[in-house]
Chain A
Amino acid sequence: EPEVTQTPSHQVTQMGQEVILRCVPISNHLYFYWYRQILGQKVEFLVSFYNNEISEKSEIFDDQFSVERPDGSNFTLKIRSTKLEDSAMYFCASRAGPSTDTQYFGPGTRLTVL
């Protein structure tokens, strides 16, 4: 069964450093998402991406965040200058299309900012 994959599974970084979290969505999917989940809290929407551009973003997704689909398979989330409060699980999700609404989530990347 096709699945969303994410790398790395755990990323440890120093405050102020840049991190790139990587995702490979399901191959025929057109809509891509990033979410985060701070430990013990609910899943929060960050950004959605369609047709090589951001379609929606939340208040959390400020200028420190960016997304990119550099090739036909990868979908990345970059945090330019990490803060302690960026420590969380980051989930990537993909969806086939507007008429098929199910999102499939990856296993997540645990980001720890020291």
Chain B
Amino acid sequence: GESVGLHLPTLSVQEGDNSIINCAYSNSASDYFIWYKQESGKGPQFIIDIRSNMDKRQGQRVTVLLNKTVKHLSLQIAATQPGDSAVYFCAESPPGNQFYFGTGTSLTVIP
């Protein structure tokens, strides 16, 4: 039969508002986490990363929060712009050389 793609969580925000995208990871041994942005027809683009010895890291307009207790990662985008519209993935990396991606969240910024 026909395979059906996963239904992505979606988030719509007004331009200028802050966005929060959440991710639950699965492996308690993961010690490195990355947020990627993927625009239609393009490869994932690195946004920000964080190691497990930190619980917060800030970049330009973006902040990643890590809660190891509940295995939760979030990405905060300040003053969201139309160019931020994309699918956002978190990825986790346990010790070694593998990376595991989440399902993704589709962010739509309304001008």
By a beta-carbon cutoff of 8 Å, the part of chain A in contact with chain B is 4, 31, 33, 35, 38-45, 48, 50, 55-56, 58, 91, 93, 101-108
Contact = CB atoms under 8 A, between A and B. Distances in A.
Interface of B: 3-6, 8, 32, 34, 36, 42-46, 49, 89, 91, 93, 96-104
A1 B111 CA distance: 30
B101 A91 contact: no
Nearest to A92: B43
Contacts of A103: 34, 46, 99
Contacts of B32: 101
B103 A50 contact: no
A42 B89 contact: yes
Given A42-B101, A50-B97, A91 B5 contact: no
A58 B102 CA distance: 16
A35 B8 CA distance: 19
Contacts of B91: 43
